[in-house]
Amino acid sequence: MFEPRTTIIRDPKVLTFDYIPATLVHREEQMRSLRMLFRPVVESGVPQSAFLIGPVGTGKTATAKRFCMDVLRYSSEKGIPMDYVMVNCRQSNTESSALLSMIWHFDPGYPDRGFSVSEMLRTLKRHVDKRRLRLIVVLDEVDVLLKKGADDLVYQLSRFNEERGDLSTSLSLMMISQEHVIDRLDQASMSTFKRANTVRFGRYSRDELYDIVNSRADMALVPGSIEADSMHLISDIASEWGDARFAIEMLEKSALLAEEDGVGQVKAEYVREAKALTYSTITESKLEQLDKHRMLTLLSVTRCLKEEAYVNTGRAEKTYHVVAEEYGESPRKHTQFWNYVNDLHDLGLVHTKVQGDPEGGRTTYISIPDMPAKVLRGKLEEMLDR
């Protein structure tokens, strides 16, 4: 029933979620900025901190990981004691669980309860000092942690190196986020993060996505087993969000579908089928990231969109008030509502466009790309009822 088929996929590993290619096309500039920023750490142990900012699927996590892996290889060749630890703050979303995952990197047997945050910080320090390390801590999706009020941990980590003249050991921070989180940090930690240390990741263009898909297909698939047009179609579809993850998932799914059919080539029809499959899993994982008020905001948009393609923000906001009350929440203020809409836009869950009106004002219109509003509405109501 599951006889291996090898007509299309040569190396399935290359299509998986955590595969990190040796080089990331179209991220040369970001890599260069990171090299520049972290050169002092490698050369003399002087700690640095950087923000990596950009929308979903723009290669932030992959670039950070590739960079750290390259640094590690270089430093071990040169005999410099460096290491990095990557924490996903969506999974480890409290100060203690984030710290735990750092400590477990050094001591997998460390008990997961019973120690305070300051005790854990001291333990982390001891591990770094004992190995005389220059450690890079990557806080991926740090906005989740900061939204939960964990600025103190970030502050403590940022001043990890104070009160010591010895630079042979240090802790550097790399913080990854979809929006600029610096505004959420308190005054004290703010001063330790210079604005200049921001590395920006923009949405990929259609052509850039094509190059990404093409190079992934080269590594993963049997030569000649995907039509160029299929790759064009994948990049066309994904370019709406500039999201490489979406593109690679479509590549994987369309290859699997074609292989399952025993066809020797990934044709456009498989891409269309893969799009339908991928879109719903991606949307679902995005919906799971939303807190209650962002869900309520999105729900209000779906409630406004019955026949029409667009709803203006004024009407959406009124509906949001009704919907919030329906779910027993007091509606947030106007500026906060705007933030929610912007966040939903950054996640690609809504589109927004600004239009001038006859009175000379400007109105923002919201639409939902590519999924029936009714389906999304049902999904949200189901999640909110849970």
Report the run of H or E that residue 154 belongs to, with start and end.
helix 151-158
- Which residue in the set 33, 49, 61, 278 belongs to the binding site for Mg ion (CB under 5 A)? 61
Q: Which is nearer to ligand ADP, 82 or 250 (CB)?
A: 250
Picking from 143, 52, 191, the residue whose alpha carbon sits closest to that of residue 339 is: 143
- The reply on whether position 57 binds ligand ADP by CB under 6 A is yes
Distances (CA, A) of 278 to 57, 220, 274: 14, 19, 6
Q: Which is nearer to Mg ion, 48 or 61 (CB)?
A: 61
Q: Which stretch binds ligand ADP (CB under 6 A): 49-57, 85-93, 153-161, 256-264?
A: 49-57
The region, left, alpha or beta by phi > 0 then psi within -120 to 50, assigned to residue 10 is alpha
- The reply on whether position 202 binds ligand ADP by CB under 6 A is no
Q: Which residues contact 63 (CB under 8 A, 6 or more apart)?
A: 24, 27, 30, 31, 34, 52, 201
Q: Which is nearer to ligand ADP, 198 or 364 (CB)?
A: 198
Q: Report what 296 binds from ligand ADP, Mg ion, none; CB cut-off 5-8 Å by kind.
A: none
**Residues 93-132 vs ligand ADP: string with x where CB under 6 A?**
----------------------------------------
**Residues 209-248 vs ligand ADP: string with x where CB under 6 A?**
---x-------------------------------xx--x
Q: Closest approach of Cβ 59 to ligand ADP, in Å? A: 3
* Cβ-contact 114, 100 below 8 angstroms: no
Q: Report what 212 binds from ligand ADP, Mg ion, none; CB cut-off 5-8 Å by kind.
A: ligand ADP
Q: Which residues contact 317 (CB under 8 A, 6 or more apart)?
A: 300, 334, 337
- Please name the residue that has the structure tokens 């590549």: 251
Amino acid letter for position 210: Y
Q: Report what 245 binds from ligand ADP, Mg ion, none; CB cut-off 5-8 Å by kind.
A: ligand ADP
Q: Is 7 helix (H, G, I), strand (E, B) or coil?
A: coil
Q: Which stretch binds ligand ADP (CB under 6 A): 14-22, 98-106, 277-285, 311-319?
A: 14-22
The region, left, alpha or beta by phi > 0 then psi within -120 to 50, assigned to residue 227 is beta
- Which residue in the set 8, 9, 14, 27 belongs to the binding site for ligand ADP (CB under 6 A)? 27
- Which residue ranges make up the site for ligand ADP (CB under 6 A)? 17, 20-21, 24-27, 54, 56-62, 212, 244-245, 248
